[in-house]
């Protein structure tokens, strides 16, 4: 369910790929059963392609990575967190458009 440039984040790679990244990272907290998450997938994939090489964009399945969802207080999905320098800089809750994702990412490049 991910595009060519959309990464998959897990508890095993989260620290290295997200917290230690030298680029902004947008993490889409989602689940397979979540209809709004599935609706948003094309926008996330399109943003990942557009920002390839400048930012990391990926998905984190909350059912498979419950401790990370808990660590970041994810109460509803989809929730998108933008990390920069290992810190959460922005949060979007609920389905959103590619344009909104693009504006969010451009602010942090």
Alpha carbon 63 to its chain's center: 15
What pLDDT band is residue 2 in, cutting at 50, 70 and 90? low
Instruction: Please identify which of the residues 26, 37, 43, 47 carries the catalytic annotation.
Output: 37
Task: Work out whether strand 79-84 and strand 25-30 pair parallel, antiparallel, or are unpaired.
Answer: antiparallel
Task: Write down the pTM of the prediction.
Answer: 0.96
Which of 93, 98, 63 is CA-nearest to residue 78? Answer: 93
Give the domain 7-107 fold: Glutaredoxin (3.40.30)
Instruction: Please identify which of the residues 34, 55, 68, 81 carries the catalytic annotation.
Output: 34
What are 19-31's pLDDT values in tens digits? 999 999 999 999 9
| Helix (H/G/I), strand (E/B), else coil: 89 | strand
Domain ranges of the chain: 7-107
Active site residue 94: no
What are 39-68's pLDDT values in tens digits? 999 999 999 999 999 999 999 999 999 999
Whether 3 has a pLDDT exceeding 90, the answer reads no
């Amino acid at each position: 369910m991910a595009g060519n440039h959309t990464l998959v984040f897990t508890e095993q790679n989260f620290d290295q790929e997200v917290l230690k990244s030298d680029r902004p990272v947008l993490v889409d907290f989602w689940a397979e059963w979540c209809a709004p998450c599935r609706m948003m997938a094309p926008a996330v994939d399109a943003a990942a392609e557009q920002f390839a090489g400048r930012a990391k964009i990926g998905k984190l399945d909350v059912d498979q990575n419950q401790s990370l969802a808990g660590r970041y207080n994810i109460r509803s999905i989809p929730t998108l967190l933008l990390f920069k320098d290992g810190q959460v800089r922005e949060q979007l809750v609920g389905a959103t458009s590619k344009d909104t994702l693009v504006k969010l990412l451009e602010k942090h490049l």
